[in-house]
């Protein structure tokens, strides 16, 4: 008698079984593998019709066929409209990062310029994040560099302050910004409130695209000053007009017929994609950014661009127009979704001629060049990873390298840092910092610090991904240190049963010179690489990046500690009340010595809060 092996149903057979339980509603479906990992998220106007297309055994592209064959179960969410389904689909893709979806991997927020409105002499500054502060926001700008350049130019033209309120209130003489003609020094009365507000209004006009009026007014004032023989004032106005002209020239693209739009261009090559986004606001170019979404070899441009737009604007406010390099699959649906989010009409355009087409051509050229550079860099990175594998006898080029370093000053404000590198270079969204918590550590104990960091790292990995299937486990550890550090880390790895992960300690070597590094591995003699070996330079870059990240994290922690006071730990005392208490009493120590009636006299401190503060300082034994 022969034993028969019962095979599980094939993917399309599993999908066929769901057709009896779903209706024709719009909604979102998820395809899951045998271990309940999400393979794909999709939306449909008619769920039954869409799912039935996957139930056919043939007629699919290679990517879809692989996805169907891996499908062991499905999940469904119905929505009222297809527009709701589109928004939900893109949100779930960003959250779940399914293997077979187009995925936008870089999702950083964009900076804005903020002109404050709650001061006599408003401040102009860079702002990122939630728009909670009172004022007028202008943006988005493509990068912090684009904002900084624009702010520098605006300061040259309009002489607005960028200092904090505390610095502004404490000045007794003009600062360096005034001396280099970047600020009109309102802090010491060098300009009246009315004149300063006129400059603020001019800056806001400029940021709104109304520059012609400003230049005409400044030219008129310069002529009047010349006639009145106020030559110093006339020269200052001339310099401002010149600076304003330079600002406009530096921006390069200044479309006359496009007031507010994002120019979005896609270029695809060899299964890779680059999307270039130009930000046009107030008829001005406010910078551009390139993105490299994860795509498959057989995904078409319409699907890639639609997925990009849906994910890109999931947490961002869209402009009035999106000017695209090519059509997307559901333009009307996407326009409805974005219009609902913005509360006013959003247009999607694919121009064929004219100024808008020229803008798209420029963005496409940038996308093409950026992807070529990226592919060249990836090829170089691949060679370096192969060289690393050969140098350290690894089973293959490591797809994830984790590099660890510590930073402290005589044990104070100690932090550990982890950086990550892979085939695409530095993976900065994977970097991690560790506040060293070991109370029993001897100050400056680098071995103990490294042991704490690695213990916490492996505990988390074992808890979150015990099967090592999520791509979060390292394939190579680089440790800043010699034989002692390597031995300490090896003992941790034995403790957690992860001795199969290769580890290399990078020590400075003879005279602590770069280029004479020694490499330490468990059970092997120290080794070195040729002085001009590209792999040596690569390891040096990795170590230096870990050191940079560790130092930066340490400095931030130290700066925070320097500004800390006992008031930070008092329940109910936030930043505003902390300022009020310090202004009233002069120091945190004086607040701790104050009696209850004095605490109640502070503006913004209620009777109940005064009692809480008093109890905090007097009931601690």
CB environment 84-108: b (16+ within 10 A), e (fewer): bbbbbbbbbbbebebbbbbbbeeee
Query: Does 343 or 322 have the greater pLDDT score?
Result: 322
Residue in the block written with tokens 């001396």? 179
Question: For residue 331, is pLDDT > 90?
Answer: yes
119 band by pLDDT with thresholds 50, 70 and 90: confident
Question: 263 preceded by cis ω (within 30°)?
Answer: no
Average pLDDT, the chain: 84
CB environment 213-222: b (16+ within 10 A), e (fewer): ebbeebeebb
Task: State percent of the chain over pLDDT 70.
Answer: 90
Under a CB-based contact definition with an 8 Å cutoff, are residues 278 and 286 in contact?
no
Identify the pLDDT of residue 2. Answer: 41
Identify the pLDDT of residue 204. Answer: 85
Structural domains in the chain, sorted by start: 11-96 (3.40.1440.10), 112-250 (no CATH), 260-372 (3.30.420.340), 401-560 (3.30.420.340), 566-618 (1.10.150.20)
Query: Does 217 or 134 have the greater pLDDT score?
Result: 134
Question: For residue 514, is pLDDT > 70?
Answer: no
Strands 412-422 and 401-409: antiparallel
Mean pLDDT of the region 245-267: 74
Identify the pLDDT of residue 580. Answer: 81
- Per-residue pLDDT tens digits for 161-177: 888 887 888 888 888 88
120 band by pLDDT with thresholds 50, 70 and 90: confident
- Per-residue pLDDT tens digits for 375-409: 888 888 999 999 999 999 999 999 999 999 887 65
**Rounded Cα gap, residues 420 and 533, in angstroms:** 22
Residue 423 has a CB neighbour count (10 Å cut-off) of: 15
Q: Is the pTM of this model over 0.85?
A: no
Sequence-distant (6+) residues with CB within 8 A of 604 are 576, 577, 580
Of 325-334, 389-398, 579-588, which gets the smallest average pLDDT? 579-588
């Amino acid at each position: 008698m022969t034993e028969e092996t019962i095979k599980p149903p094939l993917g399309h057979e599993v999908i066929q079984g769901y057709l009896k339980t779903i209706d024709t509603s719009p909604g979102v479906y998820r395809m899951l593998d045998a271990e309940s990992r999400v393979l794909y998220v999709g939306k449909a106007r008619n769920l039954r019709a869409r799912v039935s297309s996957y139930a056919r055994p043939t007629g699919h592209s290679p990517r879809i066929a692989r996805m169907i064959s891996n499908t062991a179960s499905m999940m469904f969410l119905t929505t009222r409209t297809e527009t709701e389904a589109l928004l939900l689909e893109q949100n779930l893709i960003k959250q779940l990062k399914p293997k077979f979806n187009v995925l936008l991997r870089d999702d950083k927020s964009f900076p804005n310029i903020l002109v404050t409105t709650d001061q006599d002499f408003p401040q102009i500054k860079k702002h990122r994040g939630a728009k909670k502060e009172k004022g007028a926001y202008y943006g988005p700008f493509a990068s912090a560099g684009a904002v900084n350049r624009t702010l520098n130019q605006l300061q040259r033209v309009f002489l607005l302050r960028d200092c904090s309120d505390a610095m502004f209130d404490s000045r007794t003489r003009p600062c360096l910004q005034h001396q280099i003609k970047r600020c009109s020094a309102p802090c010491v009365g060098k300009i009246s409130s009315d004149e300063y507000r006129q400059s603020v209004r001019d800056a806001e006009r400029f940021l709104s695209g109304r520059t012609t009026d400003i230049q005409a007014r400044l030219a008129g004032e310069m002529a009047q000053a010349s006639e009145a023989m106020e030559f110093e004032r006339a020269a200052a106005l001339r310099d401002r007009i010149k600076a304003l002209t330079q600002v406009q020239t530096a921006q390069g693209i200044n479309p006359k017929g496009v007031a507010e739009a994002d120019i979005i261009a896609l270029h695809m090559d060899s299964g890779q994609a680059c999307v270039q986004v130009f930000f046009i606001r107030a008829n001005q170019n406010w910078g551009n950014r390139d993105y490299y979404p994860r795509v498959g070899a057989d995904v078409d441009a319409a699907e890639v661009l639609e997925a990009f737009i849906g994910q890109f604007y999931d947490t961002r406010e869209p402009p009035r127009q999106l000017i695209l390099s090519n059509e997307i699959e559901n333009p009307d649906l996407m326009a409805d979704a974005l219009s609902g989010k913005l509360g006013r009409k959003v247009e999607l355009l694919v121009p064929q001629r004219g100024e808008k087409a020229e803008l798209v051509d420029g963005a496409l050229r940038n996308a093409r060049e950026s992807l070529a550079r990226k592919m060249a860099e990836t090829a170089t990175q691949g060679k370096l990873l192969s060289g690393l594998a050969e140098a350290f006898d690894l089973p293959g080029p490591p797809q994830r390298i984790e590099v660890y370093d510590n930073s402290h000053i005589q044990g104070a404000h100690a932090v550990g840092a982890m950086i990550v590198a892979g085939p695409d270079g530095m993976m900065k969204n994977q970097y991690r910092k560790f506040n060293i918590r070991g109370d029993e550590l001897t100050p400056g104990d680098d071995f103990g610090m490294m042991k704490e960091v690695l213990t916490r790292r492996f505990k988390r990995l074992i808890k979150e991904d015990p099967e090592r299937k999520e791509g979060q486990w390292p394939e190579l550890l680089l440790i800043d240190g010699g034989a002692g550090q390597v031995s300490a880390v090896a003992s941790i790895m034995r403790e957690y049963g992860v001795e199969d992960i290769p580890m290399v300690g990078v020590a400075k070597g003879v005279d602590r010179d770069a280029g004479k590094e020694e490499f330490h591995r468990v059970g092997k003699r120290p080794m070195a690489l040729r002085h001009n070996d590209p792999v040596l330079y690569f390891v040096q870059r990795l170590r230096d990046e870990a050191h940079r990240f560790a130092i930066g994290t340490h400095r931030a922690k130290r700066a925070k500690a320097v500004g800390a006071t006992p008031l930070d730990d008092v329940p109910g005392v936030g930043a505003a009340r902390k300022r009020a208490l310090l202004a009233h009493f002069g120091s945190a120590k004086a607040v701790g010595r104050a009696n209850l009636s004095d605490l109640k006299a502070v503006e913004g401190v209620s009777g109940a809060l005064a009692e809480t503060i008093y109890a905090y300082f007097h009931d601690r034994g």
